[in-house]
Amino acid sequence: MTLDELELALRRLRGVVAVGFVEAEELLLVELQAGAEAYDDLARDATLLAVEHASGPVAVELVRWGEGAPPEPEARLRLVELTTDPAAGELTVRLARGAEEALGRASTAGGLPAAVEATVYAVRAFLPELTYLPGWARTVETTPDRRFLVVASVTDPIARTHLRGAAEGTTPIEGAVRATLAALNRTISREL
């Protein structure tokens, strides 16, 4: 399937107004704009179509506009603080849901995936039954103003699903934390 064929398939999904693609190194970023008639699982369906097309990692960004927002605002976890302690070799992620906060820690010996690990551990403080495990993280682009675009992955070994998110950060570690939250927030928002 070519990108043109993928675009046509994506445009057939109810609510899709526009489709764009960005190919950076081995990542295919699919950008969708959705209107008022978009349905809740549009991002999931678009991701499934994109994965069938791509030979490597895929990330889907869905932007709703007009009256296309979900009927209820979704609960989201947000990054409050990210710290590293080089002497202890530890990375700490502090997340919040409203006034509640939680910490996740990981060894920095694992490199950039440690940010994914610490984020997943912090999420588990809110959702102890979370089945997703930390995966990988990669910096896919550094902007001229020294911001880092990072893609991160988490895996549910029970359901055999992989979630990927892309986000920007002032450091690769911050980008990896934000990308992990982007991957998980869509799935866990109903349980928060």
Residue range 28-75, pLDDT digits in tens: 889 999 888 888 889 889 998 988 888 788 888 888 876 644 455 567
Q: Which pLDDT belongs to residue 65?
A: 75
Q: How many residues does the chain have?
A: 192
DSSP 98: T
| Chain segment 14-35, per-residue pLDDT in tens | 989 889 888 877 888 899 998 8
User: Is the pTM for the entire model greater than 0.75?
Assistant: no
Structure-token pair, residue 149: 């675009």
| Chain segment 79-126, per-residue pLDDT in tens | 999 999 999 999 999 999 989 999 999 999 989 999 999 999 999 999
Residue 169, C-beta contacts closer than 8 angstroms, at least 6 positions apart: 147, 148, 150, 175, 176, 177, 178
The beta-strand segments (E) located in 54-160 are 58-64, 78-85, 90-97, 100-107, 133-142, 148-156
- d(Cα 44, Cα 38) in Å, to the nearest integer? 12
Q: Which pLDDT belongs to residue 18?
A: 87
- d(Cα 50, Cα 71) in Å, to the nearest integer? 26
| Chain segment 151-174, per-residue pLDDT in tens | 999 999 998 899 999 999 999 999
